[in-house]
Structure 1
Amino acid sequence: MKTVLCYGDSLTWGYDAASLDRHPLKDRWPSVLQATLGGGIEVIAEGLNGRTTAFDDHLAGADRNGARMLPTILMTHAPIDLIIIMLGANDMKPWIHGNPVAAKQGVQRLVDIVRGHDYPFDWPAPQILIVAPPAVSRTENAEFKEMFAGGDEASKRLAPQYSALADEAGCGFFDAGSVAETTPLDGVHLDAENTRKIGQALAPIVRVMLEL
């Protein structure tokens, strides 16, 4: 049995901007990935609304710093064969940093944590697949428009930054924006169709990386 850990934010959690609730389990991209891959593999979703790559956000009642939480999550689900990291959208908030280079550095920190973690029982570190989230889009939603001010342009530069990092670090890479786009309802989240597209598109990449 192979284990795949999906480490992300509200796009992985399954936030639905239309209902202001959560997408049905079957529509969330980790579930679609699981269904597409079939048996012999377990796909675990670890999504948290507002999670950043490696930066603090003191406006929430949970720890949104992806780097600080990652060691605990690695131990919770070990042994892991592949970790899929799709983070960076929340880094585009101006009060976080709003800078794609800083987001790249945050993902680099996550890669270092995954590879440098002290795994028990001589378990090897998992392979890493870095996924750039779909770019923030323009919206008439006043709250999200201010929350992600400037994020539409900044987030377009995440994919090339992450691709370069993947090459440097020897990780897999996928640009989720090549198959999915954010909803104009808030400019950040995904409707059911687009979150499904990500799960479907990742399946062949996961098969290759895990030699399935």
Structure 2
Amino acid sequence: MKTVLCFGDSLTWGMDAENDTRHAYENRWPSVLQKGLGHGVRVIPEGLNGRTTVYDDHTAECDRNGARLLPTILETHAPLDLIIILLGTNDLKPVFANNAVIVGHGIKRLVQIIRHHPWPMDMESEPEILLVSPPPFCETDDPLLGPMFAGRIGESQHLASVYRDLADELGCGFFDAGAVAKTTPIDGIHLDAENTAAIGRGLEPIARMMLGM
């Protein structure tokens, strides 16, 4: 049995902007990936609304710092064969004053944490890592997320090239979610059910390859 960890934010959790709730289980991209990969693979969805790569959000009701939470999550779900990271959207909030290159530094830190983790059992090899760039933002009239991500559309469009270069540098896999999914103008950040599912379908071939299936 192969095990895949999907480490992400609200795009992985399955936020439904239209209804301000959560997409049905079968439409979330980790669920679609699970269905595509079949019974020989266990896909673990680990999405949290508002999660960042390495930053604290003191306005949140829970810990959203991905770097601080990741070691515990690795320990919880080990052994792992593939870790898919889909983060970076929340790093672009103006409060963190980041550009796409600096977001990449956070992604690189997560890869370092995985590569240097003292695994709790004798794993034959380290898990493969797949970096997924989030779909670029779009214009929105949403009264909350519009101002929250004001002026960040351009930087969101640069994330794919930054992540692609990082994947080459670090020896990771890469997938551009923006190649198969578009954000909804309802809030400019999240995805409707079809676009969420499209990420799972798009990831299946590369996940199969990285799992040696």
Scaled by the length of structure 1, the TM-score of the pair is: 0.98
Q: How many residues align?
A: 212
Aligned partner of 1:198 in structure 2 is 199
Give 1:97 deviation, angstroms: 2.6
Give 1:99 deviation, angstroms: 1.4
Give 1:199 deviation, angstroms: 0.1
Q: Does 1:52 align with 2:52?
A: yes
Scaled by the length of structure 2, the TM-score of the pair is: 0.98
- Identify unmatched segments of 5+ residues in structure 1: none
Give 1:20 deviation, angstroms: 0.4
- Following TM superposition, the consecutive aligned residue runs of length 4 or more in structure 1 with deviations greater than 2 angstroms are none
Amino acid at match of 1:43: V
Q: Write out per-residue CA displacement over residues 52-92 of structure 1, whole angstroms, 9 at most, x where no aligned residue.
A: 01111111011111101000000010000000000000011
Aligned partner of 2:116 in structure 1 is 116
Amino acid at match of 1:165: L
Q: Percent identity?
A: 60
Give 1:102 deviation, angstroms: 1.2
Q: Write out per-residue CA displacement over residues 129-179 of structure 1, whole angstroms, 9 at most, x where no aligned residue.
A: 000000111101122111001121111010000000000000000000000
Aligned partner of 1:92 in structure 2 is 92
Q: Distance in 2 between matches of 1:119 and 1:98?
A: 32
Aligned partner of 1:209 in structure 2 is 210
Q: Distance in 1 between matches of 2:145 and 2:98?
A: 14
User: Are 1:57 and 1:96, in contact at CA under 8 Å, matched by a contact in 2?
Assistant: no
1:1-212 alignment, distance < 5 Å: 1-123=1-123, 124-212=125-213
Q: Provide the secondary structure at the position in 2 that maps to 1:95.
A: helix
Give 1:39 deviation, angstroms: 1.3
Q: Distance in 2 between matches of 1:17 and 1:155?
A: 19
- Identify unmatched segments of 5+ residues in structure 2: none
